Amino acid sequence: MNGWLRLVLLGTAGALAGGGPAAAAGRVDGHIRWTHRNGTKYAVTGAAVDIQNADTKQSVATATTDRDGKYRADFPVPPGGVRVLVRVDCVCPGAKIAPAPGKPAHFLTSRTPVDVADDTVATVDLTATNTRDNHTAFSVREALHHASTYAGRLGKASLPPVRVYYPSTDTQYDPALNQLEFLQSDRWDWDVIFHEYGHYLAKKYDLTDCVTGDHQLGQNLADSLGKKKGTRMAWSEGWPTFFSVSAQRAMNLAALGIPYVGDTRYTDTEESYIYDVDLTLRDGYSTGEDNETSVQRAFFCLYHEFRLADDAIWAALVDATPKTLSDAWAAVAKGRKEPDLARLGQIFTDFRIASAPTDPADGVKLPPHPPTFKWTPNGGKGDYSHDRFNVVFIDAQCQPVLTSNQLTTPEYKPTTAEWTTITAGRTDVLWYVLSANSKNPSTGPYRSGWRKLAR
């Protein structure tokens, strides 16, 4: 009744002002959805819906879907009504998804025109199937819509839409052509889609070198590529995975109920084997600064466990334009104090990036004579393990007490005079290790978590 009254009032006002009858109005509404491989239907959100005159193919109205995939368009209807079609292109503010260069975007459209007359409502629902490529492209589109929306929030500005080709012969971001490509087999894998969009962001904001090449889970890339390329590729691949998983968590996309979306894992489900990595695990796949698994896990735990805000991480990295994990560590540690630094250091120790103190055990009694302090170097394998160290002692109030000279072996025994300085008048002593690798280009120093000796 309210809608009818509003139309009557508008028509009356138009007649009074213009001296003639106002145009009649009609409405088209409905839902736009896409279908997952499991048969569940999900909303296509933030999509432009074009209401077209079925005879002239001219647009008569547009609308935008809401978070439930609903849309509504009110528009003038000529005497006798109008036949309309509804069309949705596979685009969003951050991406345009097409089958190939030079081709128009994938789209959905109604097949049968509907009649819209004065003061009538026609409901037209469109649902992309889970079989045809121009339909499954809407899963890719929906993932990219969320990824680009999140990136716009972080960067406080919308990026121009990136060209996306699906299905393609590879899944990749091509920095030379500034385009994304996705295999048909990745259409449901939002982790992969967000990851590749992360490469695009890294290029736009100079966050990585976008190093390309073969890389495997658990691999120390410096071993096969040399230190310069290996550490840069580990960061180039690790950061987009961190972005993928943390972005979905920050946007609470798990609430959508889409399989594998919004959890703490990076999952690629349709390859020859399922690639599934939990970014919170401490296991043998995390092997140092030249290992992409260590990179993605360390940064995810800064966000997920340390609770370092996503926009704070983003701001630090954009300001630093890091090319390696070493650069990124310096960026997030900059300006921080104890005990935050100790917590950050422990995360990097857990993923075998920073050295791991081993002796004396944490919490043991302060001995009267100097003990030998030992640690596992970590950082990488072989020549790329850390080879330069300092042991740092601080008091219970986190004030500096003594820092050792630079060491080249993973142990340190203070002199009697140094031990007296370290322990004099103190109830507790905290110690940690700064570690670096001197091979060109040098990386570090990283710091470990601390250990305590108690009086």
The pLDDT of residue 274 is 65
Checking if the pLDDT of 198 tops 90, the result is yes
Cα separation of 275 and 269, whole Å? 7
Is the pLDDT reported for residue 271 higher than 70?
no
| DSSP per residue, 81-111 | -EEEEEEEESEETTEEEESSTTSPPPEEE-S
What share of the chain in percent tops pLDDT 90?
Answer: 88
Average pLDDT for residues 185-194, to the nearest whole number? 97
Please report which confidence band the pLDDT of residue 347 belongs to, taking 50, 70 and 90 as the band edges.
very high
CA–CA distance, 45 with 153 (Å, rounded to integer):
17
Confidence band (pLDDT; 50, 70, 90) for 158?
A: confident
Q: Does residue 213 carry a pLDDT above 80? A: no
pLDDT in tens, 39-87: 999 999 999 999 999 999 999 999 999 999 999 999 999 999 999 999 9
Domains 2-134 and 353-454 share a fold: yes
Categorize the per-residue pLDDT at 422 as very low, low, confident or very high, splitting at 50, 70 and 90: very high
Phi, psi angles (nearest 5°) of residue 56: -100, -15
Residue 10 in this model has a pLDDT that exceeds 80: no
DSSP 192: H
**CATH, range 353-454:** 2.60.40.10
**pTM of the predicted protein model:** 0.92
pLDDT band at 20 (very low <50, low <70, confident <90, very high): very low
Query: Which residue in this structure is represented by tokens 């630093």?
Result: 320
Which class is 2-134 in CATH?
Answer: mainly beta
Exposure string for 17-33, b = 16+ CB within 10 A, e = fewer: eeeeebebbbbbbbbbb
Contact 455, 427 (CB under 8 A): yes
Of 3, 124, 22, 123, the residue nearest 78 (C-alpha): 22
Sequence ranges of the domains in the chain? 2-134, 194-335, 353-454
**Average pLDDT value for residue range 411-435:** 97
